[in-house]
């Protein structure tokens, strides 16, 4: 894995003996964790992680896995290892067969120092609460799974969620979720380092609401064709938001880009 931007400093030392790097350009988990560390900000930070084909598809056959690679999954694991909570839409939970996050020995000490539990919580955004609470995501998590819904979600569904041991988080009035309120609602539960893995509709809603702080976008050197969604799906905005490129890594033709929302 090579860093293309910003340029690698000329005085970076060679990897130490015993490192899992195979050359001076391949980053181990510790180096990646440092590169993707959350910024020190006073409040929540919502980061997205998505993969796209070369022709802009967010998935192939309904799943993102065909567009991925070993390096992509390595960064995926690092981003999860740093997060307090993973935010995901209900449709993506169903399509991708989401399961609870797994503890990783490589991040155990780092998470302990940061006061984090062994794994991030999963927060499922769903206005209807039409979810399968017998699925492993809800029935066997290391930390309680959350559902984020509107203030007037169906009472029968709320009761079903609570009986399953799910923590219900309210973000929005009426029967809908307000994406602009989700980061603060999670932060009130001590979940400041936030990672969303989509899907495209949820990510588009976060972007439209001005709630997305950072986008980690992996560009796969594969062509998908077909009518798959882009990584963000939603109506055209009157004034598109600007994001600033902060880093680019490359591995086997995959580009791992990172953008942060431009602030005035």
pLDDT, tens digit, for every residue of 161-212? Answer: 999 999 999 999 888 999 999 999 999 999 999 999 988 999 999 999 999 9
Is 106 contained in some domain? yes
In 3-state terms the chain splits into helix, strand, coil percentages (rounded to 5) of 25, 20, 50
Q: Give pLDDT, residue 264.
A: 63
pLDDT at site 11: 59
Q: Which domain holds residue 125?
A: 45-227+241-261
What rounded mean pLDDT belongs to the chain? 89
Mean pLDDT value across residues 70-81: 95
Q: What DSSP state is assigned to residue 67?
A: G
- Characterize the bridge pairing of strands 214-219 and 254-261: antiparallel
- Residue 227: the pLDDT is 83
The C-alpha atoms of residue 81 and residue 182 are separated, in whole angstroms, by 21
**What is the reported pLDDT for 24?**
46
Nearest-10 Cα torsion for 125, 167, 94, 80: 80
In percent, the amount of the chain with pLDDT more than 70 equals 92
CB 60 within 8 A of CB 228: yes
In this structure, what token pair is assigned to residue 129? 């609460």
Residue 88 lies in a domain: yes
What residues form DSSP beta bridges with 49?
216
Reply yes or no on whether the pLDDT at 142 is more than 90.
Answer: no
In terms of Cα–Cα distance, which of 172, 195, 227, 226 is closest to 36? 195
- Is residue 24 situated within a structural domain? no
pLDDT for residue 7: 86
The tokens describing 192, both together, are 């400041």
Proportion of the chain above pLDDT 90, given as a percent: 70
Q: What is the mean pLDDT of residues 93-121?
A: 93
Instruction: Write the CATH number for 153.
Output: 3.40.430.10
- Say if CB 183 and CB 211 are below 8 A apart: yes
> What's the confidence (pLDDT) of residue 18?
40
pLDDT of amino acid 20: 41
- Residue 60 or 109, more confident: 109
Query: 101 lies in a domain?
Result: yes
Has residue 35 been placed in a domain? no
Q: Which two tokens stand for residue 225?
A: 């064709």
Longest dimension (CA), the chain: 62
Residue 167 in tokens: 């923590």
State pLDDT tens for residues 12-58.
554 443 444 434 455 788 899 999 999 999 999 999 999 999 998 98
Q: How many domains does the chain have?
A: 1
Q: Is residue 40 domain-resident?
A: no
Kindly state the average pLDDT of the residues 237-244. 80
How many Å is the Cα radius of gyration of the chain?
19
**Could you tell me if residue 236 is inside a domain?**
no
Give the three-state DSSP class for 118: coil
pLDDT reported for residue 19: 41
- 93 within a domain of the structure (yes/no): yes
**Separation between Cα atoms, residue 43 and residue 193, nearest integer Å:** 9
Give the residue-averaged pLDDT of 228-243: 82
Q: Strands of 2-5's sheet, edge to edge?
A: 2-5, 243-251, 254-261, 214-219, 45-52, 193-196, 85-89, 121-125, 146-149, 167-170
């Amino acid at each position: 894995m090579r860093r293309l931007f910003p340029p690698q400093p000329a005085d970076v030392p060679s990897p130490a003996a015993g490192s899992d790097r195979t050359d001076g350009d391949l980053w181990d988990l510790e180096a990646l964790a440092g590169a993707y560390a959350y910024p020190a900000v006073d409040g929540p930070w919502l980061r997205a992680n998505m993969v796209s084909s070369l022709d802009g598809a967010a998935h192939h056959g309904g799943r993102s896995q065909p567009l991925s690679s070993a390096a992509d999954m390595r960064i995926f694991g690092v981003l999860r290892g740093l997060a307090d909570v993973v935010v995901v839409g209900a449709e993506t939970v169903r399509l991708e067969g989401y399961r609870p996050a797994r503890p990783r020995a490589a991040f155990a000490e780092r998470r302990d120092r940061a006061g984090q539990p062994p794994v991030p919580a999963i927060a499922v955004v769903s206005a209807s609460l039409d979810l399968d609470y017998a699925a492993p995501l809800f029935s066997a998590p290391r930390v309680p799974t959350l559902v984020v819904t509107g203030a007037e979600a169906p009472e029968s569904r709320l009761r079903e969620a609570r009986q399953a041991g799910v923590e219900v988080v309210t973000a929005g009035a009426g029967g809908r979720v307000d994406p602009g309120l989700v980061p603060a609602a999670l932060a009130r539960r001590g979940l400041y380092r936030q990672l969303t893995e989509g899907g495209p509709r949820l990510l588009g809603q976060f972007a439209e609401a001005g709630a997305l702080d950072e986008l980690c976008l992996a560009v796969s050197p594969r062509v998908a064709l077909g009518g798959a969604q882009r990584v963000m799906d939603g109506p055209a905005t009157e004034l598109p938001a600007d994001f600033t490129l902060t880093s680019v890594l490359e591995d086997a033709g995959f580009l791992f880009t990172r953008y942060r929302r431009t602030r005035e």
